[in-house]
Amino acid sequence: MSVVGIVVVVALAIFAASILGAWLRGGTGGPQGDIKGIQEEMQRLLTTQAQGISAQMGQVSQLLSQHLTEVRRELEQGVTTASRITADAQRDMTDQLRNSTETMNRLAQHLGDVQKSGQELTQAAQTMQAVLGGPKSHGVVGEAQLETLLSDVLPKSAYEFDYEFSNGVMATAVLHSGRKLVAIDAEFPLDACRKVVEKGDEDARAEFAAAVRKHVDEVAGTYILPYEDTLDLALMFVPSESAFVELLLTQDEQGRLDDYCRQKHVLPVSPNSLHAYLSAVLVGLKGMEFEENAKRMLAGLDDVKKQFDRFAQAHAEFGSQLRQIQDTYEEASRRFASAQTALAATALTEPTQEAEIESEGAPAEPEPVQAANNGA
């Protein structure tokens, strides 16, 4: 029930009670006086109730106005916050769309560069295929390509071309891996691979497999020399990616060619795989260099520690000497203070003794002449 309804009910109850009271009292003025009194009482009660209702309505209106103001303010804040959130979301979405667009553009550009590089690589492979037609020319081109790869990836101190072992064997190149050597061969039989590409029959493939196996035996027997400080591994450089793929896929009655290479500890590498292998070697060399620097640093720190220990010892000795000097100084100060005290005491006693000596050595003064003698 609302506040107004409650007020009306209370007013009617008071009005009924007033009428009942006036009727029971039965005034002297008769029915007309009762009616008039009742009207006046009703008028007064209605006025009072109207004033109360008006005041309560004012309070209710004020409360409603405050509530409406707060609701409006909260709605305005909510609308402002929602607008800000919407603006931020739109801005973030715009930034993400822009970044996505830029990323897609870069990816498209990179894809174009990759396609272009693939076309250039295909053309280079075709050109190399044409150049490596003779058995003499493929070794020269392989050596030139190998030298380019080595010089592009490794420092000159990490490899050496035309390395001659003590037994007179000449390696195309060697890698310096610490105190060990890794020989690289660049005489892969590309002419046999060319016949496989041209003919594509089983005879050409069998001839290619036989040529590769023979060359792997030569590499293993020539470049894996433990007494020459070589690792138990040699690299067989294949200067053509297509020839490298053909080597990996070729299989004869003796098995796969790549398995045979692993059995002989000969690692076939193409230009791309050799680049990756050389990058790993470079990381290892940098690690070894870092290790050497760390050793030198540790040696330097050890020298610094020794110097610091010597300094600490000298500092301790110097502190001990300072303490001795301080003790000597304090002892000298005490003696000096004692001497000053003795001198002060001596200075106070000397005048008294001199006065006593002077009083003992002086002649006696004559007694004064008495007055009686003067009178005689």
Interval 246-285: pLDDT, tens? 888 888 888 888 899 999 999 898 888 888 888 777 676 6
pLDDT exceeds cutoff 70 at 350: no
pLDDT of residue 260: 92
Burial of residue 234 (number of CB atoms within 10 Å: 0-12, 13-18, 19+): buried
pLDDT of residue 373: 41
Mean pLDDT to the nearest integer, 23-48 = 64
Structure-model confidence comparison of residues 122 and 371, the more confident one:
122
pLDDT of residue 370: 42
Banded pLDDT at 291 (limits 50, 70, 90): low
Q: Where are the domains of the chain?
A: 3-25+37-86, 133-291
pLDDT of residue 34: 62
Considering just the CA atoms, what is the radius of gyration of the chain in Å? 60
In tens, the pLDDT along 171-224 reads: 888 888 778 888 888 888 888 888 877 777 788 888 888 889 999 999 998 888
Q: What percent of the chain has pLDDT over 90?
A: 4
Alpha-carbon gap, residue 196 to 203, rounded angstroms: 9
pLDDT exceeds cutoff 80 at 151: yes
What mean pLDDT, rounded, does the chain reach? 76
**How many Cβ atoms from other residues are within 10 Å of residue 146's Cβ?**
23
Alpha-carbon gap, residue 115 to 223, rounded angstroms: 39
